[in-house]
Amino acid sequence: MKCFGFAYSAIALALAGLVKSEFIYSCTEEKTIAMTFDDGPFKYTKELVDYLVDKHPDVKATFFHVGRFHYPFAIDTQEYQDAMKKAHDNGLQIASHTFEHKISDDMDEFKKSLDTMDDFIANVTGDKPRYFRAPKGNCKEKCQKSLEEWDYRLIQWDADTNDWDLETSGTIEQELKIPLIS
C-alpha cells in the first residue's frame, strides 16, 4: 500500500510540473462582471473610490495597483494610500500590478518587485495581495510558472476599453466603446 501511495504521489507531482498557470479572463459566476482598474492609485482614484463606496456600496471592483509609476508616486502620496485603504476597508479588492509597471525577464528581480509591491499594499491595507495582473497583459510561460509557484492568481480581461491608448481614446465616447463579448 505504501508503494502505491508513493507511485501515486510521484505521478501527481510529475503531472503538476506540466500544469501551466492559466490566464483568468472572465468571471466564474454567471451574469456577473468584474470591474477592474489598473495603474493606480493616481489622482482620480480617491474620487472613484468615494463614488463607489458612497453611491454604490453594493458594486465591487478590483484595483491593480503599482507603487511607483505615475508621478507623484503612490508610495510617496498619502492621499493615494488613503484611497487604497478606504477601498480595501469597504470591500473593494487591492491587487498587484508590479511595483514599477514592468516584469523583468529575471525571475529573481520580478519576485523582488512583487514582494516590494506586496509589502506596500500590506502596509497600507493590512492584507497581502494574492491576485496579480501583468502590465499590458504580458506574462509569458516563465512568468506564469513563477506566479503559480509563488501562489498568485493571474487575472487578465476579456473586454478592454483601450483607454490606455491616448491616440484613440481621446474622447469620452471613444473611451466608453467596449468590444462586444460573445
CB of 125 closer than 8 Å to CB of 94: yes
Is 14 part of a structural domain of the chain? no
Q: Does the residue 77 lie in any domain?
A: yes
Residue 92 lies in a domain: yes
18 in a domain, yes or no?
A: no
Question: Residue 50 has which C-alpha cell?
Answer: 468615494
Tens-digit pLDDT string for the chain (182 aa):
443 333 333 333 333 344 445 556 667 778 877 788 898 899 899 999 999 999 999 999 999 999 999 889 999 999 999 999 999 999 999 999 999 999 999 999 999 999 999 999 999 999 999 999 999 888 999 999 999 999 999 998 777 777 666 676 655 555 455 454 43
How many angstroms separate the CA atoms of 53 and 47, rounded?
A: 10
**Inside any domain, residue 87:** yes
pLDDT of residue 148: 93
> Residue 6 — φ and ψ, nearest 5°?
-65, -45
**Other CB atoms within 10 Å distance of the CB of residue 105:** 9
Closest among 101, 90, 164 to 133, alpha carbons compared:
101
Residue 30: predicted pLDDT: 82
Model pTM score: 0.76
Domain that holds residue 164: 35-176
What pLDDT does residue 19 have? Answer: 43
Using CA atoms, how far residue 134 sits from 38, 100, 105, 114, in Å, is: 10, 11, 13, 11
Number of domains in the chain: 1
| Residue 8 resides in a domain | no
Residue 4 in domain? no
The CATH number assigned to the domain holding 152 equals: 3.20.20.370
Residue 15 lies in a domain: no
Q: What is the pLDDT of residue 25?
A: 64
